[in-house]
Amino acid sequence: MKLLASLALLAASTLATPVAPRAPTKEFKLKTTDSTISEFNNLYLYSYHTGAGLSDGVFSSNATAAPKFSLNGTTAYADLGTSFLWGVEVNGDTNYAAWEPVTINAGQGEAEFAIQDGNFVYSEEQGFAGWLVCPWYHNAPQLFALIKYYDPVIPSSCSKVTLKAVY
Ligand SMILES: *[C@@H]1O[C@H](CO)[C@@H](O)[C@H](O)[C@H]1NC(C)=O
Ligand SMILES: *[C@@H]1O[C@H](CO)[C@@H](O)[C@H](O)[C@H]1NC(C)=O
């Protein structure tokens, strides 16, 4: 139901410009705020190439290098300048882990993302309990999704963050 409310909000916020129904929303970059670790604030999400058509969601302070994202319905895509789509994916509650990496992979992506009060979120019904940033194996802060069915013991080097959509 929360998701429906946010979709209604989204629809309302696009009323100002005449757009065709189903047109993807305006593009935005995703920027961190609300971290208790100050160096994790004001970072932009970008895709760290990990294989053909595969990448991890990693952060950089360089806004220029960060790709733009968009929502088509509730599917989130990154515009990596290719002719095919790159979908944002939260790898859900599949392995009894308290948080899961966020990937940006070539393909149709995954539904159930939304922008709520200006922030990019995933569906609570799918187990989302917020975003987590940790310094990880790409030698950069990396994006994870907390899974609400577990009580996370968050390492002190990690922090919860809010992902703000910057238009
Ligand atoms: C930021 O990224 C742009 C585009 O990739 C690059 O040209 C620029 O040198 C980068 N700036 C810094 C400070 O790394
Ligand atoms: C957006 O979603 C609609 C409905 O699923 C689909 O027909 C359309 O091709 C999608 N557009 C893009 C740009 O992905």
CA 69 vs CA 47, 53, 86, 124, 156: distances in Å: 11, 17, 10, 21, 30
Does 80 have pLDDT greater than 70?
yes
Residue 104's CB is within 10 A of a number of other CB atoms, namely 28
Q: Could you list the beta-strand ranges (E) of the chain.
A: 29-33, 44-51, 54-60, 68-72, 75-79, 86-90, 99-106, 113-116, 119-122, 128-135, 141-147, 159-166
Does 120 have pLDDT greater than 80?
yes
Share of the chain above pLDDT 90, in %: 81
Q: Is the CB of 82 under 6 A from ligand 1?
A: no
Rounded Cα distance, 158 and 1, in Å: 31
Q: Give pLDDT, residue 24.
A: 61
Does 48 have pLDDT greater than 60?
yes
Q: Give pLDDT, residue 116.
A: 96
Q: Is the CB of 62 under 6 A from ligand 1?
A: yes
> CB within 8 A of 159, min separation 6: which ones?
35, 36, 37, 40, 132, 133
Q: Give pLDDT, residue 94.
A: 82
Q: Is the CB of 24 under 6 A from ligand 2?
A: yes
Half-sphere exposure of 13 (CA within 13 A, CB side): 15
- Which residue would you say has higher pLDDT here, 65 or 91? 65
User: In whole numbers, what is the pLDDT of the chain averaged over residues?
Assistant: 88
Ligand nearest to the CA of 44: 1
* 5-25 mean pLDDT: 45
* 130-148 mean pLDDT: 97
Does 76 have pLDDT greater than 60?
yes
Q: Is the CB of 73 under 6 A from ligand 2?
A: yes
Ligand nearest to the CA of 46: 1
Q: 24 CA distance to ligand 2 centroid (A)? A: 8
Q: How confident is the model at residue 18 (pLDDT cuts 50, 70, 90)?
A: very low
Q: Give pLDDT, residue 23.
A: 54
* 122-144 mean pLDDT: 97
